[in-house]
Chain A
């Protein structure tokens, strides 16, 4: 169902671990990369391959915030709202993004481009406020940099991730 390439990769992962079950998390990551989220069919396939029950696999999927069980927009905006980002003004960035996109936390824009969620500390507190977009970190986000980022993403560009030129505070 997933093709040879997927199977081959899962088998390679299994070979790295003392027991097949160890391959479960990497296999779920792989399924998510392939489909955008962890589908029930993927869980069933992985369970079968690793000799586990599908219910067990689903229990693991749902334990971890990072595994998604439903579709998201093309760009998943994950804004950190934990303390260091809060001290640097992430609440203003959050309000701005909500207004600009016309969505609330947990929602997706009608055209399917952006999904907005807030997350806990991403280990980028020295370059706060920051957000993760799909697999990349965008840091030192003031309103201007946030707008530039969203503009670029909406145009299908992939702006350079990482810190900004300056540390900022958004007031």
Chain B
């Protein structure tokens, strides 16, 4: 497959505007300006592009929710979500550091189509290097007339503001991100109202992931059909960045068509298992909050939104975490639960109380002090957390617990019975 998002990241200084323009970046923006805005949005719908931030909502459909008559009193905003904090996810960082102009181009195309007067790029605080690259890239783009006043002589003004977060996973949730961007604590808001009705500063807002926005220039230049021709079927189209980590020989970020089989990704793209004599045990296919898959469930599995959902897990952020047979699943789950307990914003009781409880019980089992009834307790707590909170973080904490305990039950039982790991017992 021709690379679209990472085509020139290996050349010298890919982040500079000269190199980017030499590779055709901003040609799509030039083409968009002057095009009919609604036709642009229709072409994004026709491309089948689904959001790359986790939920897979169709990008063009989301854009069509925005008002057609923004005013200076009630302007429209675009936000690019570069919070990238779901454990195992490190794909957006490649675009942010190596191809920032493609992202800026995508943001400006989207802002144009939705008649926005300002676009914000919210980047996680720890990405200091990427933030410096972006500040510089935005200034380059401003000088070249792609950002700011009277863009490319069209009379349309749109600024682009880069905003650094400060290490809070919850700020990746779209409404928490808006609170954070407004200068507050990152507390998710109740929906409705949805962001397109009342988002940032109460104004109509659309929020998209870095990778989603970076797909737009290609669609403008090559047409929705060319984009839709990549991938497994019409519901799972386009190129995708897969971030593979864990027990493979060559982990990393790989741009491949949507729907690449999981085993092909592990064996051909990532060089197979890290230790060739150790067998595959499990894969978390979409970031730490999605249900885990046993090795046998990984066979013949195309990686895309629908195929992974059919297999009972979620495609999420396409963060593929690979575990071999030496992995202690109880310890992995305890570690995952620690993450969610640390990151709960504390607004909802089931999440604020439930996430540390899950962690406490799991740590107790992992330290050899597990009690009879702990597995039922975990399941009960997880069930009470699902679907009962303002945002999906509580579900994100509960889902791995239920799937790990269900699929690797014998390991948890062994720990509780013998006070130690079945894996290291050999």
In the assembled complex, B3 has its CB within 8 A of some CB on chain A: no
Q: In the bound complex, what is the Cα–Cα distance between A2 and B380 (angstroms)?
A: 54
Q: Which of B78-124 touch A at CB < 8 Å? A: 84-90, 92-93, 118, 124
Q: In the bound complex, what is the Cα–Cα distance between A60 and B179 (angstroms)?
A: 11
Contact size range, A:
35 or more
Distance in angstroms from A22 CB to nearest chain B CB is 5
Distance in angstroms from B157 CB to nearest chain A CB is 14
* Interface window among A99-107, A117-125, A143-151: A117-125
Q: In the bound complex, what is the Cα–Cα distance between A37 and B118 (angstroms)?
A: 31
Contact size range, B:
35 or more
Q: Which residues of A contact B274 (CB under 8 A)?
A: 169
Q: Say which residue of A63, A132, A137 sits within 8 Å of B186 (CB atoms).
A: A63
Distance in angstroms from A93 CB to nearest chain B CB is 15
In the assembled complex, A40 has its CB within 8 A of some CB on chain B: no
In the assembled complex, B384 has its CB within 8 A of some CB on chain A: no
* Interface window among B221-229, B232-240, B250-258, B386-394: B250-258
**B245 and A128: CB pair below 8 A?**
yes
Q: Given known contacts A18-B201, A25-B163, A66-B167, is B93 in contact with A86 (CB within 8 Å)?
A: no
Distance in angstroms from A8 CB to nearest chain B CB is 17
**A83 and B182: CB pair below 8 A?**
no
In the assembled complex, B279 has its CB within 8 A of some CB on chain A: no
Q: Given known contacts A24-B183, A135-B128, is B327 in contact with A87 (CB within 8 Å)?
A: yes
CB-defined A-B contacts under 8 Å, sample of 23: A17-B161, A19-B183, A22-B163, A22-B181, A22-B182, A25-B183, A26-B164, A60-B184, A64-B168, A64-B186, A66-B165, A81-B335, A83-B332, A83-B335, A84-B87, A84-B245, A87-B327, A120-B169, A123-B85, A123-B124, A126-B90, A136-B129, A167-B249
List of 4 A-B pairs having minimum Cβ-Cβ separation, nearest first: A64-B166, A24-B183, A21-B183, A66-B167
